Amino acid sequence: MAPGKVSKICCIGAGYVGGPTCAVIALKCPHITVTIVDVNQSRIDAWNDKDFKLPIYEPGLEDVVRGCRGRNLFFSTDVDKGIQEADLIFVSVNTPTKKSGVGAGFAADLNYVELATRRIAAVANSSKIVVEKSTVPCRTAESMRTILESNSKPNCRFDILSNPEFLAEGTAIGDLFKPDRVLIGSLQTPEGKAACDALTEVYANWVSKDRILTVGLWSSELSKLAANAMLAQRISSVNALSAICEATGANIDEVAHAVGFDSRVGPKFLKASVGFGGSCFQKDILNLVYLSESLHLPEVAAYWRQVVEMNEYQKRRFSKTVVDTLFNTITGKHIAVLGFAFKADTGDTRESASITLIRDFLNERANIKIYDPQVPHEQIWFDLAEACPNLPLESIKKSVTICPSALDACNQADALVIATEWKEFKEIDWEAVYTNMNKPAFVFDGRLILDVEKLKKIGFKVTVIGRGNVM
């Protein structure tokens, strides 16, 4: 590979980060061949689907893949071939929170990162730039370098970079087209800086160089955790304030709007809700908690742990509000849950607030009807089975129905819960919903998206998160 020139890229991992990111690189860099590899045959088959029924729902993604698949963008299960032919390799595999062993419940499980690293060392027969794309604990690159250097073939050199993603699901393609920043971390050696320059030139095909930040390797790794932790902290802060609003009669939307006008604070991530979800926030904060404890910083760990605890409290508080409002019991009652994805414009359900709410409703022996426009039914059943390990799936299915539309879910329901902010939920035929619900008809807005006065005029009893009834 000529210094500063990348002609072939391989991405190990065809998930929510690797797939969209490298598809955009292929679109913006037609002179670079991009191959995305994964051992999951069904996932690769979906990326190669002739009708473009991709494994990930993300607005704009299909157009990107249509623009370059088969030209300079390829999806394959031949991991070894992808590694051998690439100049630069993104490692974009899953790093879930450990479920057992040391650090269970907090530390990141780096098994897939290590397996990918060992695979690179085993099959690479030329020098490579290896890029951490997965969210990893600080100094993971050091472990990767040790594995690569201990197992590499003669005359094979590996330079490691950190290039964390800062994508928001639902807007990922727009984020990739016009990123706030691209962060690249490297060792501050001549070789490390040269590798950093090579990746910088890839992004510079469409990103202004003043948006490409180059920092030290460890700073880059920690920056991703820090960014997500501080965003989640804002959400937990406004959700904590929403509880005070409900107790005092204040309106959380008005409070957040006023606070957001302060230029030192700004308006983003000040929207109260039933709780944050997704693959990043909770996992990354717990990772930060574990890192702090490992570094013997218990006060720091306790500080960040409280962000997650507040998020769990918000979900519990909301489900309790539903029970309390429905005359202190929902046993045998029908609850419509609109939305199962953790946020609108994505099919991702990881850490979705809906899962917690439905689990709580099942524990109260309610009947639940679910509608979400994008989440596959099999994913809903999988998530509920995992959330309720003491209930056989057959028992869950006796109490839960997945519906084809919002109107179907609301039919004969005692209460309706807005759990995801899908645009279509604002535009429902609310007159028809009211006609077909049991009376009194209760609506619980966990996402602050409904026209409350309109619903009250129709006849609904409306409860909105962060708004109190105290005069």
**SS3 of 205-265:** CCCCHHHEEEEEHHHHHHHHHHHHHHHHHHHHHHHHHHHHHHHHCCEHHHHHHHHHCCCCC
Question: How many helices and strands in the chain, by DSSP H and E?
Answer: 18, 14
Residue type, 137: P
- Alpha-carbon gap, residue 83 to 85, rounded angstroms: 6
In angstroms, what CA-CA distances link 246 with 112, 323, 462, 467? 44, 16, 13, 5
Q: Is 204 exposed, middle or buried (0-12, 13-18, 19+ CB in 10 A)?
A: middle
* 90 marked as binding residue: no
**Dihedral of the CA atoms 365, 367, 373, 378 (nearest 10)?**
70
* 185 marked as binding residue: no
* 95 marked as binding residue: yes
30 within 8 A of 38, measured Cβ to Cβ: no
* 343 marked as binding residue: yes
* 331 marked as binding residue: no
* 226 marked as binding residue: yes
* 33 marked as binding residue: no
* 321 marked as binding residue: no
* 466 marked as binding residue: no
Q: Which residue, chain included where needed, has tokens 């065809």?
A: 14
DSSP structure class, residue 108: B
Tell me which of 29, 138, 280, 388 is the catalytic residue.
280
* 224 marked as binding residue: yes
* 277 marked as binding residue: yes
* 298 marked as binding residue: no
* 97 marked as binding residue: yes
* 238 marked as binding residue: no
Bridge partners, residue 89, by sequence:
10, 130
* 413 marked as binding residue: no
Nearest CA among 120, 130, 50, 31 for reference residue 83: 120
Nearest CA among 376, 350, 462, 374 for reference residue 423: 374
Structure tokens belonging to residue 70: 């088969």
* 407 marked as binding residue: no
* 13 marked as binding residue: yes
Helix (H, G, I), strand (E, B) or coil at 147: helix
Q: Which helix (H) or strand (E) holds 309?
A: helix 298-325
Residue 10 annotated as catalytic: no
* 135 marked as binding residue: yes
> Where is the binding site, in residues?
13-18, 38, 43, 93-97, 134-135, 165-169, 224-228, 264, 271-277, 280-283, 342-343, 350, 447
Which residues carry a binding-site annotation for NAD(+)? 13-18, 38, 43, 93-97, 134-135, 169, 280-283, 350
> Which residues contribute to the annotated binding site for substrate?
165-169, 224-228, 264, 271-277, 342-343, 447
Catalytic residues: 280
